[in-house]
Amino acid sequence: MVEGLHTKALQYLHRLGIVHRDVKPANILLDKNLSPHLADFGLAEYKKDLKHVSVENWKSSGKPTGGFHKKNMVGTLVYMAPEILRKDVHTEKSDVYSFGITVKIHLALSSRLHYLHLRVDDKLHIIGVVPYTDLRAEAQAHTVLEMKYTEQQLTAAVVSEGLRPVLAGPESRAPQSLLLLIQRCWDPIPENRPSFDDIVKELGSIIESVNVVQDDEKIPGKSDTSNDQGLNDLNDINTYQETVNWFRQGEVLSKTAPSNLSKWSDASSYHLAYHPKLTWGSFATCGRRETMEDTHVLMPNLCNEKDIHLFGIFDGHRGAAAAEFSARALPGFLQALGSASSPSDALSESFVKTDVAFRNELISQRNSKGVQKDSHPGCTAAAALIVQNKLFVANAGDCRTILCRGGLSIALSVDHVASRTDERERVIREGGLVKWQVDTWRVGSAALQVTRSIGDADLKPAVTAEPEMTETTLTSEDEYLVMASDGLWDVMSNEEVVGIIKDTVKEPGMCSKRLATEAAERGSKDNITVIVVFLRPVSTAERIY
CB 430 within 8 A of CB 464: yes
Phi, psi of 8 (to 5 degrees): -65, -30
Contacts of 220 (CB under 8 A, 6+ apart): none
DSSP state, 304? G
N residues, the chain: 545
Neighbours of 387 (CB within 10 A): 22
The pairing of beta strand 478-484 with beta strand 528-534 = antiparallel
The Cα–Cα gap between 508 and 538 comes to 10
Q: Compute CA distances 327 → 151, 255, 334, 534, whole Å.
A: 33, 13, 12, 22
Report the DSSP beta bridge partners of residue 434: 443
Instruction: Please give the full DSSP string across 219-258, using - where no structure is assigned.
Output: PTT--S----GGGTT-GGGGGPPPPP-HHHHHHHHHHTS-
CB 446 within 8 A of CB 139: yes
Contacts of 212 (CB under 8 A, 6+ apart): none
Catalytic annotation, pick one of 22, 95, 233, 315: 22
- Element at 393 (helix H, strand E): strand 390-396
* Residue 149 CA neighbour count, 13 Å, CB half: 22
For 299-313, b where at least 16 C-beta lie within 10 A, e where not — what string? beebbebebbbbbbb
Contacts of 491 (CB under 8 A, 6+ apart): 519, 522, 523, 524
CB 403 within 8 A of CB 461: no
Q: CA nearest 324: which of 288, 276, 352, 362?
A: 362
The Cα–Cα gap between 96 and 12 comes to 13
Question: Is 22 in the active site?
Answer: yes
What residues are labeled active site?
Answer: 22
